[in-house]
Amino acid sequence: MEIRTFLDRIEGDKAVLLDEDEKEAVVPAAWIPGAHEGQAVTLRIEDDPEREEAALAEAEALLADLKQ
């Protein structure tokens, strides 16, 4: 999924993004290279099932260690 936004303003270390419907998202400004007001920013949201599965396996292993 891609979300096309503009960087509306920077508040401290946060960047406030607005989409076409003026829905707002706040992200760390450091996530946006060369962040500046008026910048066009496209967000790409992707599911990562392999990373999710690895994190779950790691959490289960840590829990098993704690139970011993």
> What pLDDT, on the 0 to 100 scale, is given for residue 61?
94
State the Cα–Cα distance between residues 16 and 27, nearest whole angstrom. Answer: 7
> What pLDDT, on the 0 to 100 scale, is given for residue 22?
95
Q: Where are the beta strands (DSSP E) in the chain?
A: 2-11, 14-19, 24-28, 40-44
Judge whether 27 and 8 are in contact, CB under 8 Å.
no
pLDDT band of 2, cuts 50, 70, 90: very high
pLDDT in tens, 12-65: 999 999 999 999 999 999 999 999 999 999 999 999 999 999 999 999 999 999
